[in-house]
Every structure is written in structure tokens, then in C-alpha cells.
A and B are shown apart, each in its own frame.
Chain A
Amino acid sequence: METLALYVPRLLEKKENFAPGHRACSGCGEALAVRMVMKALGKNVIVVMATGCMEIISTQLPYTSWEVPWIHTLFENTAAVASGVVAGREALTRKGKASSRTKVVAMAGDGATADIGVQALSGALERGHDFTYICFDNEAYMNTGIQRSSATPFGAATTTQPVGKISMGQNTWKKDMPAIAVAHNIPYVATASPSYPFDLMNKVKKARDIEGPAYLHILSVCPTGWRTPSDLSVRIGRLAVETGVFPLYEVENGKYTLNIDPPQLRSVEDYLKLQGRFKHLTPEMIKEIQEKVEAKYAELVEKVLFYDGF
């Protein structure tokens, strides 16, 4: 586990660039992640945000929680709009009216990233714009009431893959979005979790400062959609890492590093049993998930070791 430095206040940026008064559910892990991201980013950024929970809860006219320039986009064009903002910034920089120190950060949910906006994202990563894209992955379309996305994990009950005689929840495995980002040969890809705040904030700063596209994938516990008590959001995020379900790693110019590497992975059951969306799982399904998690984790470790060899 990340050793939480004692005396957080001395290490933590005081300023809240994501202001309270937002209307996220009580205990929302996604709002917590956005808050930490905004602490790390500082004030010199332009945020481009897809529709989804975080947009809805932070910008109810006439209110806004954003302390920085913020623009709302459609579902499918977040990365395209961010590309345009970057191009605009560069044109103005040439005229001496702006500075490339102003960073552009796109933010979107898992539905907006892995399904609907994936084409625009792929284009922007491949063209190599200097921007950061952050996916807040709460593993379903939460804003509209828990519909499955391609990032919903196997077995999870959603309103479109419910549990009953015919369906036992999501019947496909979670799409590996970070791997898709890595496949674009971009300088920086990382996974993060608000349960490991300093790791998360360091990665945000790294992504912000790197020239070229950076992709960050943040697992965000959603008590409403995951059917979990609101006080467990941070604990469940930690369990996702400790069980290997959501490993925290970075890929810098193709080089893999595992940031949190528990000496022994906990059983996935510890993670699954706390969540209402998994309560119907049979022992066989849990075994299947355990095997899949171990195999994926081993694959990751292999990549890390491969680069350690150099």
C-alpha cells in the first residue's frame, strides 16, 4: 500500500479548483478523483469535458464548480474539441497572445471514452496533439442510470444487463482502454485511483508536463451504480488494487512500471463481496474472474520485467 505521508496538510495543495457545492452523490469516488486531479493540475489549464455525471453535477446553470476555463462537449467529440483547443492555443501562442504553458485537459467517463468517443480519441492520440486525456472509469453509464458500457466488468449487474433467468450481468470482459492508448505509441499512459492520492496526483502532473498526448485511466468507485455503502468508496478503490483487479502502472514511451506491487494479491472475492452489483455471482463465476485477473496481472508483470532487463 502507498505509505500515506503523515501530515497531509503540508503536502497537499490547499486550493480547491473543483469547488464544493457540486451535486455528486454522497460518497462519489468520481467526484473525489476530479477534486484530486484539479488539485494537481493547478490553475493554468483549460478543461474540456464530455457529458456524463461529472458534467451534470458540476455545472448546473447558473452555477459552476470550476475555477478554471471549462467547456462542455458532446459525448463523441471530447478529444476532437480538445485537439481544436490545442490548435487554437498554438495559433495564439504564435501571435504572442497565449502560452503553451496553458495546458489542455480532456475529461470523460468510461462510456464517453471506451464506447462513444473512442474514435475521436484515437484520432487525437495518433495526431499527437499536446494534451492530456483523463478517463474517469466508473464502469457504466452512470449519469443515465447504470447502463453497461464496454468498460463494465464481467459479471456486474447493470440495468441493461440485469440478473435473472437469462442474464447473469455483464457477459463480456472489460475493455482494456489503457492498452488501446499504449497502442498509439504515445509518450505517457497511466492508471490511477483516488484511493492512492499521491500516486494519482504525481501522475497527473507528469501527464500535464509531458509534451505530446498523455492518457490517464482512473478507476472511480460509484456507490450508486456499484450498490455500495457511501463510506466504502476509498476502501473499495484500494481493494481493486490489492486484489489485482485494477493494477496501478505507468507506460512511459513504451516502458512499463508497476507503481503499487503488493507482495501477494488478495483474493478477488474480498473486492467483489462488498458490492451489490456482484452479489449474484456463483462460485464458478468468481473463480473465472480470479483466473482472468491473475492472468492479466502476470501479463503486466512480464512487461514490467521485460523492461527491467535493460
Chain B
Amino acid sequence: MSKLTEIRWHGRGGQGAVTSAEVMGLSAIEEGKFAQAFPSFGPERRGAPVLAFNRISDSEHIRMRSAVTQPDIVVVLDPGLLGIIDVTRGLKEGGVLIINSSKSLLDIKSEFEGPWTLAVVDATAIAMEVLKIPIVNTAMLGAMVKVTGVVKLESLAEPLGERFGKLAEKNIAACRRAYDEVSIAAQGAVSQRPEKTFGEVTWPSWQELLPGGVVTDAGNARSYRTGDWRSDRPIWDHDRCIKCGVCMLFCPEGCVEQNEQGYFEANYYYCKGCGICARECWTQAITMVEEAKA
């Protein structure tokens, strides 16, 4: 029987998870295999958590068209997602989990050890050094190829070249560096999945919906969190703030509120970290701080 490998990519809108999946699929086809690459569609926009998938088969057509729910391989492009999404959901025993993080393998292991091979690479640092922008998708491809061997490193070159044109050389370099630098822990002895709970949304079934899709609970989007799209957060310096409220005026989310002392603060449940408030503040009282460091 032919071997089918299923891959799930976790990223944020605009980070290139979909491109990673595409390049991976094309590389497999390059080797004469069969492959699929597709994103999961949703209304979510730039900054929101997104998924992309691959199916790769050695020698047989792939008939399945549904989303991958039980992946053999999970790749996490954005370390910020680790706290808000269960990235190991459905990951098969004996599978592989590859995480972009500046943390050491030991630290990551304490959180994500399970019945799978765990690998960590600081793809953001590599991308900043090689590409000068924090786009990590090509570096993560390199790390993933090293850990899993789904395709050969050389097979990535042509699709990367086609996809990135002038920038191909640098992206291939980033890919190669991650290939060399990724640290891998052998499959965990623990057979238990890590216990983690995440806020789950329950959806009404179609029978419970009103005809015409009428929603009677005005403004109920307030219960929907968009704060986890954020990669930078605004921080107010009260010494500089003159309490003018320009930040409140220009917030596309309407999530900047005035507190009892008259200062302003963002409601981080909604704040997407666009940075307009920091840009518009007259006295430059607001700075955008990287979420991971805040």
C-alpha cells in the first residue's frame, strides 16, 4: 500500500502558511509523488490564525478532499499561536510536531512533549538575519524537510525559485539554515497528550437557527475574541498622555476605552494590534511592543 502523509500548517493570515503548503506540494510532485495543498477558508483576515494543509502520497492518486483532522505532521509558524490554539489536536501517535520558537528544545519539551517527535527552530531569527523580514515560511520548510524527510531538500529549490523569483536565493538560504539548525528530540516516552484547555466555541445547529438566518441578539459579536490576531500590543505611557483621546477616536475596533483616571487603554480582548493609535498619538505616548515580550 502506498503511504499517505498528512500535514497541517498553523500560521497567521499574511505569514505565508499557504505558500509553505504550496511549495511543499510542488516539491513532492517534483519527486514524482502525488500531492495536495490547500488553505482552510474562513472570514478571518490578516493577522488571524489560519490553517493550511498538505496530503502527499508516494504512488497513488489522492481522492480525499476534506480538511486534515488527523495530521502526521504539524508545523507551527507563529509561536504566539501556542497559547491560544491546541496545535496538537488530532496529531497522530508517532507523528511530528515542529515549532518556530526562540525557546530551547528543553523548554518547549516541558510544554509539548507527547507521543510524537518534537523539533524546535528559531525561524524568526533566521528570517530576520537572512531575509531581513520576519516571514518564516521558507525557513520552516527547511526544518520540516530535515525532521520528516517527506521530500528531499533539493526538491524544494525549483518550486522556491519559481515562487520567489529574485528573492529565491535568499529564501533557499533561509531554508538551508533552518535545515542545519533545527533541534530534534526523539519521540517522547510519555504516551499521554498534554492537558491543555482552550476556550471552545459552541455553534448552534442549523435546526436552532431562525428562518433567514436572523440574529436577534444585537451586537453579540462582542463575545468574539479578535485579540489573538495581535502580534504587537499598544502600551500607554501615562507621563506623556494628555488625555486627548485621539487613540480612542481612530481605533477601527472601537476597543480603546477611558479608565477612571481619565487615561486610555486598549481592551486586549479585541485589539488586533494595528498600531494606528501609536501612529496618531500627538505626544507619542503609545508604543507598540512585541506580544511575546509584553
User: Is A164 close to B, CB under 8 A?
Assistant: no
The B137-158 residues at the A interface (CB cut-off 8 A) are none
Instruction: Please tell me if the beta carbons of B254 and A16 are within 8 angstroms of each other in the complex.
Output: yes
Instruction: Please tell me if the beta carbons of B229 and A26 are within 8 angstroms of each other in the complex.
Output: yes
Instruction: Please tell me if the beta carbons of A57 and B43 are within 8 angstroms of each other in the complex.
Output: yes
Instruction: Please tell me if the beta carbons of B279 and A23 are within 8 angstroms of each other in the complex.
Output: no
Most buried by A among B225, B249, B275: B249
Residues of the B chain whose Cβ atoms lie less than 8 Å from the Cβ of A27: 252, 272, 274-276
Residues of the B chain whose Cβ atoms lie less than 8 Å from the Cβ of A223: 46, 274
User: Is A31 close to B, CB under 8 A?
Assistant: yes
User: Is B64 close to A, CB under 8 A?
Assistant: no
Cα–Cα distance between A106 and B44 once the two chains are bound (Å):
25
Stretch at the interface among B27-35, B169-177, B213-221: B213-221
Residues of the A chain whose Cβ atoms lie less than 8 Å from the Cβ of B44: 23
User: Is A286 close to B, CB under 8 A?
Assistant: no
Instruction: Please tell me if the beta carbons of A8 and B215 are within 8 angstroms of each other in the complex.
Output: no
User: Is A233 close to B, CB under 8 A?
Assistant: yes
Instruction: Please tell me if the beta carbons of A224 and B258 are within 8 angstroms of each other in the complex.
Output: no
Residues of the B chain whose Cβ atoms lie less than 8 Å from the Cβ of A28: 45, 252, 274
Asked, given contacts A8-B245, A231-B279, A234-B250, whether A61 binds B46 with beta carbons under 8 Å apart, the answer is: no
Instruction: Please tell me if the beta carbons of B219 and A23 are within 8 angstroms of each other in the complex.
Output: no
A6-25 CB mask vs B (1 if < 8 Å, else 0) is 11110010001111111111
- Interface size range on A against B: 35 or more
User: Is B226 close to A, CB under 8 A?
Assistant: yes
Residues of the B chain whose Cβ atoms lie less than 8 Å from the Cβ of A56: 43
Shortest distance from the beta carbon of A214 to any chain B beta carbon, whole Å: 24
Cα–Cα distance between A17 and B219 once the two chains are bound (Å):
8
Asked, given contacts A60-B43, A231-B278, whether A26 binds B272 with beta carbons under 8 Å apart, the answer is: yes
User: Is B241 close to A, CB under 8 A?
Assistant: no
Shortest distance from the beta carbon of B42 to any chain A beta carbon, whole Å: 9
Cα–Cα distance between A6 and B204 once the two chains are bound (Å):
46
Instruction: Please tell me if the beta carbons of B221 and A26 are within 8 angstroms of each other in the complex.
Output: no
Shortest distance from the beta carbon of A8 to any chain B beta carbon, whole Å: 3
Residues of the B chain whose Cβ atoms lie less than 8 Å from the Cβ of A31: 252-253
Instruction: Please tell me if the beta carbons of B226 and A22 are within 8 angstroms of each other in the complex.
Output: yes
Instruction: Please tell me if the beta carbons of B274 and A233 are within 8 angstroms of each other in the complex.
Output: yes
Stretch at the interface among A64-72, A89-97, A294-302: A64-72
Instruction: Please tell me if the beta carbons of A62 and B252 are within 8 angstroms of each other in the complex.
Output: no
Residues of the A chain whose Cβ atoms lie less than 8 Å from the Cβ of B278: 231
Asked, given contacts A8-B245, A63-B220, A65-B221, whether A23 binds B250 with beta carbons under 8 Å apart, the answer is: no
Shortest distance from the beta carbon of B268 to any chain A beta carbon, whole Å: 11
Residues of the B chain whose Cβ atoms lie less than 8 Å from the Cβ of A233: 252, 274, 276
Residues of the B chain whose Cβ atoms lie less than 8 Å from the Cβ of A21: 221-226, 270
Residues of the A chain whose Cβ atoms lie less than 8 Å from the Cβ of B209: 61-62
User: Is B244 close to A, CB under 8 A?
Assistant: yes
Cα–Cα distance between A18 and B270 once the two chains are bound (Å):
13
Instruction: Please tell me if the beta carbons of A6 and B275 are within 8 angstroms of each other in the complex.
Output: no
Residues of the B chain whose Cβ atoms lie less than 8 Å from the Cβ of A229: 275
The B235-294 residues at the A interface (CB cut-off 8 A) are 242-246, 248-255, 258, 267, 270, 272-276, 278-280, 288
Cα–Cα distance between A165 and B229 once the two chains are bound (Å):
37
Residue in A4, A20, A232 whose CB lies within 8 Å of B221: A20
User: Is A32 close to B, CB under 8 A?
Assistant: yes
Shortest distance from the beta carbon of B262 to any chain A beta carbon, whole Å: 8
Residues of the A chain whose Cβ atoms lie less than 8 Å from the Cβ of B43: 23, 56-57, 60
Describe B's contact surface by its main secondary structure.
loop
Asked, given contacts A6-B244, A7-B245, A26-B47, whether A19 binds B279 with beta carbons under 8 Å apart, the answer is: no
Cα–Cα distance between A223 and B275 once the two chains are bound (Å):
12
Instruction: Please tell me if the beta carbons of A26 and B245 are within 8 angstroms of each other in the complex.
Output: no
User: Is A275 close to B, CB under 8 A?
Assistant: no
Residues of the B chain whose Cβ atoms lie less than 8 Å from the Cβ of A29: 252
User: Is B198 close to A, CB under 8 A?
Assistant: no
Using CB atoms, name the residue of chain B closest to A10: B245
Shortest distance from the beta carbon of B16 to any chain A beta carbon, whole Å: 15
Residue in A9, A60, A68, A224 whose CB lies within 8 Å of B218: A68
Most buried by B among A21, A59, A61: A21
Cα–Cα distance between A182 and B47 once the two chains are bound (Å):
39
Asked, given contacts A56-B43, A223-B46, whether A22 binds B280 with beta carbons under 8 Å apart, the answer is: no
B189-221 CB mask vs A (1 if < 8 Å, else 0) is 000000000000001100001000101011111
Instruction: Please tell me if the beta carbons of A64 and B279 are within 8 angstroms of each other in the complex.
Output: no
User: Is B48 close to A, CB under 8 A?
Assistant: yes
A43-84 CB mask vs B (1 if < 8 Å, else 0) is 000000000000011111111111110000000000000000
User: Is A197 close to B, CB under 8 A?
Assistant: yes
Using CB atoms, name the residue of chain A closest to B254: A16
Asked, given contacts A24-B45, A63-B215, whether A9 binds B245 with beta carbons under 8 Å apart, the answer is: yes
Most buried by B among A19, A60, A197: A19
Contacts A19-B254, A23-B45, A35-B252 aside, 20 further interface pairs with beta carbons under 8 A come to: A6-B244, A9-B248, A20-B253, A20-B270, A22-B226, A23-B224, A24-B252, A25-B13, A25-B47, A56-B43, A63-B215, A64-B215, A65-B219, A67-B218, A68-B218, A224-B45, A224-B46, A231-B276, A231-B288, A234-B250
11 contacts between A and B (CB under 8 A): A12-B248, A21-B225, A22-B221, A25-B13, A27-B275, A62-B209, A63-B215, A63-B221, A66-B218, A223-B46, A234-B276
**Closest 8 CB pairs between A and B?**
A231-B275, A27-B274, A8-B245, A21-B221, A21-B224, A25-B45, A19-B219, A26-B272
